[in-house]
Structure 1
Amino acid sequence: MKKIILLFFLIIYSHGFSQVTISEVEKNKQFGLVWGLLKYHHPEISNGKYDWDLEYVNTSSSLDTIKNQDGMNAFLFRFISKFKTDKLKTKKLTTERLFVKNVDYDWIDETVFGKQLTKTLLEIKENSNKNNYYASTNKLAKMLSFDNEKGYQDFNYANKNHRLLLLYSFWNAIQYWNVNKYLMDHNWVSILHPMTELFINCNTKLEFEIAKSKLIAKLDDSHSYHLSDIVFDTLFKNKPYFSVKTISDSLLVTSIFNKSLAKKDGLELGDIITKVNTTDISTAIHEKIAPILSVSNKSFLNKWCNWLFYSQSDSINVAINKKNGSGKNQYIHLYEKYEVENPTYLWTERNDKWTLIKPDIAYINLDEITQKELKAVFKQIANNTKGLILDLRKNTKNIRESDLSDFLYPKNKEFIKVLFPMENYPSYGEYDGEAPLKLISNPFHSGKNNPDYYKGKVILLVNRRTQSKGEYIGMAIQQSPNCVTIGEQTAGSVMNIVSYRMPDKTEVYFTGLGGFYPNGDEVQRKGLKIDYNIKESTKNYDPELYIKEAIKIIEN
């Protein structure tokens, strides 16, 4: 009897739910989800047989007539039925390296879509007969490619369906192909409802471009910088005549590019700004910059602190602690244009490629040094120094990881594990994947048999500017036997960059592979492991602090 009553209530609930009025946002969101599932899972659609962007635009125009979930389910079922499903196949994916943390099809919910539509969606989801027209991987590098995303002809931001096409095109590409999706702050599916609402309600070109920036910012990836000209030229029209550095939630004035303008405001090198428009610095950065700029972590977000002074207004209120200890609130002027006049700097960065900081301690700036120069340096310092400081705070332009590991390792060894996307298997990844040409040259191993490797202490210097290739090389350096890493959290965007062309032909970038230490610890978002965190101070700022701390570690 209890089972009959329960079944009765379930039927009543299901019938009542299906008759509830469905919102414009929900209708479009559901169609965007189904359209994306078909794009990457249906045999013929994933083969590029249809103009899939055009299908979206033409079909979505009929959504306005739908009133409830029953009507929506019927609409979706008719849409799917236009495309043959007789070639669907099911093949279980088995591999010991299978990575499943990005798999998320929970949105296919029978309580929403009903039994018939849900069954069809699950059959498409389970289909193993997929093709790679829209997302493929390079055979020599396993890197993701979206080469057939050419943009939508005659894209018009003023057309709601065009804007939503852009949203769902990009959202589904990330949903099924971004191997680092599981590391985002927000569940990617959960952002689709508010983003749909945002894109529906764009009334101007500026609002549309801001919406795009907010969408891309949700990637939480320091590789995904995007800010269109109209956003920058409108919201960030006026600029400061100085630059600052974030230290302990304050801003240190490090450069002045026009002395006359600085004198007008009474601003000096070494001044400490503690508030902007009565808001503390950390809050101001998160409120103004974080919503529109994709970053992997707070450390890299702080790199963009100068943007706090980019504004539509021609002045900004700040709280300043002067070098003499006094404090005050005042307005600082901002300018659309100004001339660089007698620029001054709080300190001058080192530009020597290498030097003996002490007779028995060598310093190498990895920014500019070449492979040939590096070889000569190691030959000179191999037997007469007890410590080596490798400065990776400005990344490196001219060397590879092997140029260092050949001198730092006693033998060839693994320094990185890589997570690859799996072609024809949306959402799945291959963890600890093998490089296609590993028998010729394995990019995930480095070093060589070298009994004369450098045996002194190796100190690696990193900061928030250490990113991408710099982090990759840093991981290799860290696997040397005597390495200690000091500094601050790095950018957290190691590995290669993937490009995706949106329907309006905007190029968007994100990290295409996952990077892990040999023990499995993640580097994406977290950045390089730090053995000693450097705590800089705005008061009596010391630009040589990193190097002084490195010397202490070597000498102790």
Structure 2
Amino acid sequence: MTWIPCLRLARWCMPAIAIVLVGTAPLAFSQDGGHAAFDTDHAFDAGSRIALDAVTPVQVDNLAVLGKVWGFLKYHHPLITAGGRQWDYELLRVMPRVLAAPDRAAGDAVLRDWIAGLGPLADCAPCAVPAQGELHLRPALQWLDDASLLGAGLRADLRHIYLRRPATASQFYLRLDAQVGNPVFEHEIAYENIALPDAGFQLLALFRFWNIIEYWAPYRDLTGEKWDDVLRQSLPRIALARDRASYQLEMMAVIARLHDTHTNLWSSMHVRPPVGQCRLPVKLRFIDTSAVVVGYREADAEVATRLQVGDVIDSVDGVPVAQLVATWRPHYAASNEAARLRDMAGRLTAGACGAIRLQVRRGQEAVELTAQRVPAARQAGPDTHDREGETFQRLGDDIAYLKLSSLKRADVAAHMAAAAGSRGLIIDLRNYPREFVVFALGSYLVERPTAFARFTKGDLGNPGAFHWTQPVALYPQALRYAGKVMLLVDEVSQSQAEYTAMALRAAPRAKVVGSTTAGADGNISTFALPGGLSTLISGIGVFYPDRRPTQRVGILPDIEVRPTLAGIRAGRDEVLEAAIAEIRRQ
């Protein structure tokens, strides 16, 4: 971007709430669309010049409506869907006037004037029609007719725009992937050089994220939150964040309210508590509500830390673990509690390099010890729960074992040939698959074409609508595995691992053994947020053929088995043991 000074300034002052706003006058854009405005508008390259010391309830009301209207126009107004405005900067232009409005009626008047400035709508021939066919979700546009939210004039303006959309299904700010169908977000500028704090760009981040969820998130109905409330409640905290770290934490808290393990502020994990680049070189796992040592990340870690497998950590530097979990919870995005505690376990001992004090339960004994945090970057090994050793193993003469963390698609045929004749095959998904093997492996397990999933996809012509697709199926090949199939899962089974489990459990002799998975499925779609931040969403909905969800629910086991503290101390793999017992059961 070229940095140029603002050409014209206007100033509003509201001393009673210590607010200073500086905005630019609208530029004289042509009405013929095209991308020229997007490419040549540099009015806010150096910042929004919006500074806030407080926000009043009226301002929160008006900003919430602004955020919704801005997002609606972004995806529905023909001029904006054609790239005819730098729409982020148009938000920053109108925001000072909205903030200065003394009441809701005045706020509506500002928005009506803003919309009028986009020019008259051309005739649409043909005009778009509401989404047709088998729909999972319809656009959530009831608010366009909500008299308690919008005045009559603004309602009419927005309804007019909705009805006069051209039927051409195209969007400037995204397209749908040609193969998978998940959104590919485009022209969402990161503004990485903006100096923070900047209330205008911080609110832009909130509005961008909120509206992407509102119109393009396939699981927006599964958040467990009222999405309008999330917008209103987050506005003051985002607008008034006083530094870069605070802004990132507040955005992280907003994102966490989507309750999707895929979705996080991935650019900013270093600010998520606990902060620090060092940790103890041990592997921790929550067993029920207890943080338990289950292994080591360095060869000498047992001696160096004096922690033993099976130790329960009750407090860290004098703070009970239960209190840490409660304090950190707002910043840990997760589809379910199993995934949230998994992620907290990985960070529980994080902090500055140096000493850490622990209160530990070892059997019936309480132990206090001090250990040394070491750089996390030097600690090897992913937190998988599969069996050590080769990708394919024989567990006795009658059982074959295959783990997907190291399985190559090219080796599937050889491994399945080696498994032939065994009484049962254990496929371990307590990991993230190395390669996509759903069809290569699944074809050995089914007798006939077998549906295992169906998707929902967005609609460029009707933002917020999600259509059902036809089911996806496994197809058998000549060589079929005839034994029982046990699929091992737990909280580290996520996304591709969950999709693989969905597919393979469709086999007639397959059962899922273990505990609830992470509950995040569907190809991801990434996008930037102001300040050089980045996040993503689950881009398509993934369901069973009968339309039951997996999002947030996870892959529920047929045989539920959870590790126990006694089993960990004894060095047992109780999930694997249960699978073996089921195979050998007459």
TM-score, normalising length: structure 2:
0.81
Q: 1:104 to 1:117 in 2, by over 3 A?
A: closer
In 2: Cα distance, 1:166 partner to 1:414 partner? 40
> What is the CA-CA distance between 1:364 and the residue it aligns to?
1.3
CA, structure 1 residues 237+457, in 2 after alignment: closer, same or farther (shift >3 Å)?
closer
Task: Give the equivalent residue in structure 2 for 1:26.
Answer: 61
Residues 156/254 of structure 1: CA separation in 2 closer, same or farther (3 Å cut): same
Q: What is the one-letter code of the residue matched to 2:327?
A: E
Counterpart check, 1:502 vs 2:529:
yes
Shift in Å, 1:554: 0.9
Read off the aligned partner of 1:268 and give its amino acid letter. Q
Where do residues 200-215 of structure 1 align in structure 2 (5 Å cutoff)?
200-215=239-254
Conserved in 2, the CA contact under 8 Å of 1:390 and 1:459? yes
Give the superposition deviation at 1:519: 1.6
Change (3 A) 1:75 1:334: farther
Aligned to 1:16: none
Q: Give secondary structure in 2 for the equivalent of 1:408.
A: coil
1:361 is displaced (CA, Å) by: 1.5
Alignment pair present for 1:547 and 2:576: yes
Tell me the distance in 2 between the aligned counterparts of 1:348 and 1:460.
11
Q: 2:447 aligns to what? A: 410
CA 1:152–1:414: 2 relative to 1, 3 Å: same
CA distance 1:364–1:172, shift in 2 (3 Å): same
TM superposition shift of 1:399 = 4.4
Q: Distance in 1 between matches of 2:341 and 2:535?
A: 22
Once the two structures are superposed, residues 91-140 of structure 1 have per-residue CA deviations (whole angstroms, 9 ceiling, x without a partner) of 43253312225625437521332211122223334444264111221333
User: Does structure 1 retain, via aligned residues, the 8 Å contact 2:282–2:293?
Assistant: yes
Aligned counterpart for 1:231 among listed residues 255, 259, 271: 271
Question: For residue 42 of structure 2, what is the aligned residue in structure 1?
Answer: none
Task: Give SS of 2:85's match.
Answer: coil
1:476 aligns with 2:503: yes
> Conserved in 1, the CA contact under 8 Å of 2:280 and 2:349?
yes
1:487 aligns with 2:526: no
Code of the aligned partner of 1:306: G
Alignment of 1:365 with 2:403, yes or no, is yes
Q: Quick check: 513-522 or 264-273, which moved more?
A: 264-273
- Native 8 Å contact 1:132 1:423 kept in 2: yes
Contact map agreement 2:302 2:308 (CA 8 A) in 1 = yes
Q: 1:487 offset after TM fit, Å?
A: 0.8
**Structure 1 residue 253, shift from structure 2 partner:** 1.3
Aligned counterparts of 2:192 and 2:373: Cα–Cα separation in 1: 38
The alignment partner of 1:33 has SS state of helix
Give the conservation status (yes or no) of the 8 Å contact 1:43–1:88: no
Is residue 297 of structure 2 the alignment partner of residue 254 of structure 1? Answer: no
What letter matches 1:470 in structure 2? A
Quickly say closer, same or farther: Cα 1:339–1:38, change in 2 above 3 A: closer
Aligned-residue offset at 1:392: 1.3
Written as runs of structure 1 = structure 2, the 5 A alignment for 1:242-321 is 242-256=282-296, 266-276=306-316, 281=321, 284-288=324-328, 290-304=329-343, 305-311=345-351, 318-321=358-361
Q: Which residue of 1 is the match for residue 96 of structure 2?
A: 61
Question: 1:489–1:126: structure 2 CA closer, same or farther, 3 Å change rule?
Answer: farther
* Consecutive unaligned residues in structure 2, runs of 5 or more: 1-55
Note the 1:94-113 alignment, pairs <5 A.
94-100=131-137, 103-106=140-143, 109-113=146-150
In structure 1, C-alpha distance between the alignment counterparts of 2:509 and 2:515, rounded to whole Å: 20
C-alpha separation in 2, matches of 1:419 and 1:354: 35
CA contact (8 A) 1:253 1:269 kept: yes
* Mapped contact 1:497–1:511 kept (Cα < 8 A): yes
Letter in 2 for 1:70: A
Given that 2:277 and 2:376 are in contact with CA atoms closer than 8 Å, whether structure 1 keeps it comes out as no
**C-alpha distance in structure 1 between counterparts of 2:396 and 2:310, whole Å:** 29
Q: CA deviation at 1:552?
A: 0.7
Tell me the SS of whatever aligns to 1:220: coil
Tell me the amino acid that sits aligned with residue 293 of structure 2: V
1:430 alignment partner, SS class: strand
Alignment of 1:96-495 (within 5 A): 96-100=133-137, 103-106=140-143, 109-129=146-166, 131-152=170-191, 154-225=193-264, 226=266, 228=268, 231=271, 235-256=275-296, 266-276=306-316, 281=321, 284-288=324-328, 290-304=329-343, 305-311=345-351, 318-323=358-363, 325-328=364-367, 330=368, 332-333=370-371, 335=373, 337=375, 349-382=387-420, 384-431=421-468, 433-434=469-470, 444-448=472-476, 450=478, 452-495=479-522
Shift of 1:332: 4.1
Residue identity opposite 2:183 in structure 1? L
Task: List runs of 5+ in structure 1 lacking aligned partners.
Answer: 1-20, 435-442
- Partner in structure 2 of residue 13 of structure 1: none
> In the TM superposition, what is the alpha-carbon distance from 1:416 to its structure 2 partner?
0.6
Q: Which moved more, 1:86-95 or 1:115-124?
A: 86-95
| Residue 532 (str. 1) matches residue 559 (str. 2) | yes
Report the equivalent of 1:7: none
Q: 2: distance between equivalents of 1:131 and 1:366?
A: 39
CA distance in 2, matches of 1:227, 1:134: 21
Tell me whether 351-360 or 220-229 shows the greater mean CA deviation: 220-229
Instruction: Give the letter for the 1:180 counterpart.
Output: Y
TM-score relative to the length of structure 1: 0.85
Q: Name the SS of the counterpart of 2:151 in structure 1.
A: helix
CA RMSD of aligned residues (A): 3.1
Task: Using the TM superposition, give the Cα deviation of residue 419 of structure 1 relative to its aligned residue in structure 2, in angstroms.
Answer: 0.6
